[in-house]
Chain A
Amino acid sequence: MTLHPTSPDELALILRDAVREDKKVSVAGTGNWSPTEGDLAISTDRMASITELADRDLTMSVEAGATMDTLHRRLAAVGLWLPCDSPGGDRSVGSIIATGTSGPLADSFGPIRDQLLGLTFVTGNGRVITAGGKVMKNVAGFDMTRLVCGSFGTLGIITDAHFRLRPKPQADCTLTARPHHDTAWDIWRTVTQSRTSSACLLNPGSGKDKAQVTVRFTGSVNAVQSRRVELEEANNLDWREEESGGYWGDHSRAVLANPISLTTGSSVSTANAVTTAIDDLLPRGSAWVQRNLVRWAGAASVKELQIFRRTMSESGTPVTVERAPWGILKEVGVFGHLSPETRAVTERLHDSFDPNKILTAGGVFVTD
């Protein structure tokens, strides 16, 4: 059965009933971004409006059921921008926040948590919680906004979000080249370290495929032009200009065309090793390298995922399986092995916010 609450209070009543009746609840989404087993599904489709667009204050309040694409369209119409290009723009804002998915623009604007000013969510014990607010800076109380972001629904169901916005950049230029493998890595390193681009994405390719490096500049016409010239002069390559909207949309679809996607923490000095491990251990898929993460999308068995995660853990690197068919996710979990102390804190949080464990039917904190 799917229920369609229209307000946080209604949702809270539903969740309290679920606790009483010992029912498991899942959030009905567009796919397999979150665990889907449960006795009851909650759809946020009737909480999907943009409740406030303060265009002069550069803030926006939305209900969590609105899709990210809807937000982008609405903002574009008034010359504003939310620098968030998480894969799956047709997903609800709630889903993107809950999974903390960030796209290539996180390189320079930070992940989605950095665009959030506040949230309303309903905990597993049926309480409506407001976190943060609508202003640019806020240290009143503990930062539950960022804590809930990326918690994969374990602490509550998000109903409202407040974002900070930016003026739409005057110019937005995407350049792509397919150089030799080593050159591609050099360019990626240089551009990433210089922090001159809004995004710099490397697809190292596999085998004898050429690597692909894509650089996105946003800003004033002059700023974008001067960075573009700088890039072209520094690298004697055949850079091709792409239409930004189309290119990054295609990228996002390419990620989602695969049944599984995961992210691995990485850095300028470790990214290469991470992609080598991916080549060895997760051969059926592609990897894209960003400043602080490598995203891999493809097909893999539970066993392969577990081995990859264990290998990464040993080098101090977290692997988050952000999306997988339920049968796989149930086995490997979204998050991997946590240290005993971190696990204790996490379990206490989970116990407090969802004492009866009605929100996620496993699949998040599974450890291998």
Chain B
Amino acid sequence: MPLPQIVIDALINIVGDQWVKISKAERETYSSDGLPTLRSLPAAVVLPASREEVIRVVRVLAHHDVPFVGRGAGTGLSGGGLAGPDAIIISLTRLNCIIRVDPVNQIAVVEPGVVNVRLTEAVQDLDLFYAPDPSSQTACTLGGNIAENAGGPHCMKYGVTSNHVVSLEVVLPDGKVTRLGSDSGQPWGLDLVSAFVGSEGMFGLALEITLRLLPAPKFVITMLADFVSMRDAGEVVTEIVRSPAVPAALEMIDQNCVKAVEESIYSAGFPTDAAAVLLVEVDGHSEDTVDQEAELVTMILTEGRARSVKVAQDSASRERLWHGRKKAFGALGRISPDLVVQDAVVPRTSLPDVLEEIAAIATRHDVKISNVFHAGDGNLHPNINFDGQNPAEVKRVTIAASEIIATCLRVGGTLTGEHGIGIDKKRFMTDLFDKDSLSAMMAVRRAFDTKGIANPGKVLPTHSCSEWKPHSTVATHR
């Protein structure tokens, strides 16, 4: 359905001609996000310059009942940022201002389009940092992080995005603007901040985000342990987490992925003959304590049959190790035309079994799977390399991905730990939640979005929900 001209005119009137994209070529740029298997051409793309412009844009769309999809950097991995042919993408990348940093209360107020890593860069001189560090942090936006409740390697110690959001100003899908929470981080009434974080763009758009900053640790030790057996590496993860040591990060990279990294420009010196390597970091404010934690971790690794444990001697070698880890997806992306990055969480103790099962699935369906993931949280990322032009291979990849998910759910795990449900995993939601629980989620969504126009069609398999209390304006499921 083409967009009514009156809507286009109204949008142009708000943001100016050059910031409303309607040509096919321009819309093409926004037809996919980080998920390679899905594409969808939006009706238009609008790029407001300010908070006020976003609000006015949403009001116009609400008035005309036009669905919209917020868009950050488009690095999302579940298709959450895709818009259908009747929907408009509202890109928030021009709202990229760090509005205020308050070192006394250790908070920062930012616009949603600020790129994650920029915040930590901006507060470094104050000896502060912003903890959630998705591997995509040099590209993804804080607004996107809020929507997905993003995680990252250091979330093991410091917590995921929702642990760091103090309060939010949002524009609801009906165009009303409201502040959720308070500057102290204490809820004001129900905890609507927590509900909004992870709502995948379906509750409205975050306009202004207040985030918690932490004092940067003064001492950091990064260790690289390599294992001949993947099972050993998996088992040692539980031992470390059960010990008095509290690692800041505990990441696993398997042999397939190590090879991809070492053959790329991101080579980090990972041993390519190891079945798996673990990257473990400890940090803190006292040198002695950090040293002792590192000693304890080294001992556990060695007792857990690590072939060797190397300690990064300076910040350059530490950065090289992390670069290798964080660019692993990029390295994997080079070796085939397409790559799906999977995301699931299992209880830590089942990691060894699940990793073996994933290897068996790869063999069974003749697909190439590489694992690089947040082992300390049991958050797996099995990545599958493939060629999207080869239908037979695509089919095998789809089956393998489904089997991986089934395996994770069987051991008591969940569908996604940080990438979200989006479109990609919607069909699995009924494997995890019954109809009443899905209907409850739908009711929460309706409380924020009475019209059902914010990012419709994502997360909830609507045919499996029943509407509890229809709001009068809604005729169909969106």
Contacts and interface: CB of A to CB of B under 8 A. Distances in A.
A223 B162 CA distance: 28
A139 B214 contact: no
Contacts of B155: 137
A219 B246 CA distance: 9
A346 interface: yes
A253 interface: no
Contact of B172 (A100, A341, A351): A341
Looking at A137, A155, A265, A353, which has the most chain B CB atoms within 10 Å of its CB?
A137
A147 B184 contact: no
A55 to B, nearest CB: 8
Interface in B424-454: 425, 429, 432-434, 436-441, 443-448, 450
A110 B159 CA distance: 10
B182 A220 contact: no
A227 B286 contact: yes
Nearest to B180: A342
B195 A146 contact: yes
Given A113-B191, A269-B105, A316-B183, A134 B347 contact: yes
B379 A136 contact: yes
Contacts of A317: 182-184
A194 B184 CA distance: 17
A113 B345 CA distance: 19
B345 A110 contact: no
Contact of A352 (B349, B412, B446): B446
Given A114-B159, A196-B285, A345-B178, A353 B440 contact: yes
Nearest to A168: B244
B244 A169 contact: yes
A292 B289 contact: no
A153 to B, nearest CB: 12
Interface stretch (B315-323, B393-401, B415-423): B415-423
Nearest to B243: A167
B192 interface: yes
Interface string A261-274: 00111111110000
Interface in A180-223: 193-196, 219-220, 222-223
Nearest to B289: A223
A49 interface: no
Nearest to B78: A139
B289 A220 contact: yes
A19 interface: no
Interface string A212-255: 00000001101100110010000000000000000000000000
B198 interface: yes
Residue among A113, A151, A292 having the largest count of chain B Cβ atoms under 10 Å: A292
A36 interface: no
A223 B434 CA distance: 46
B186 interface: yes
A22 interface: no
A324 B289 CA distance: 44
Given A114-B163, A193-B106, A146 B191 contact: yes
A268 B212 CA distance: 13
A49 B159 CA distance: 29
Given A130-B437, A270-B184, A342-B189, A147 B444 contact: yes
B203 to A, nearest CB: 8
A338 B181 CA distance: 10
Interface residues of B, number: 93
Interface in B222-252: 238, 241-246
A59 interface: yes
Contact of A150 (B172, B191, B436): B191
Contact of B105 (A114, A128, A268): A268
Contact of B242 (A56, A113, A128): A56
Contacts of B450: 348
A293 interface: yes
B100 interface: no
B47 to A, nearest CB: 26
Contacts of A142: 195, 198-199, 441, 444-445, 459
Contacts of A267: 105, 107, 183-184
A262 to B, nearest CB: 11
A265 B190 contact: no
A6 B54 CA distance: 50
B186 A59 contact: no
B285 A127 contact: no
Given A137-B379, A142-B198, A346-B192, 16 more contacts: A54-B349, A56-B242, A57-B347, A130-B433, A136-B378, A138-B414, A142-B445, A195-B214, A220-B293, A227-B286, A265-B182, A342-B189, A346-B447, A348-B446, A348-B447, A352-B469
Interface of A: 54, 56-59, 100, 110, 113-114, 123, 125, 127-131, 133-144, 146-147, 149-151, 154-155, 167, 169-170, 193-196, 219-220, 222-223, 226-227, 230, 263-270, 292-293, 316-318, 320, 335-336, 338-339, 341-346, 348-349, 351-353, 355, 365
Query: Which 7 residue pairs are nearest across A and B when measured between Cβ atoms?
Result: A265-B184, A146-B194, A265-B186, A341-B178, A137-B417, A352-B443, A348-B447
30 contacts: A58-B348, A110-B163, A127-B436, A133-B414, A135-B412, A136-B345, A136-B417, A137-B155, A137-B414, A142-B195, A143-B149, A143-B198, A147-B191, A147-B192, A147-B195, A151-B190, A154-B190, A169-B244, A193-B215, A194-B215, A220-B245, A264-B186, A267-B107, A293-B184, A318-B184, A318-B189, A344-B176, A349-B444, A353-B443, A365-B189
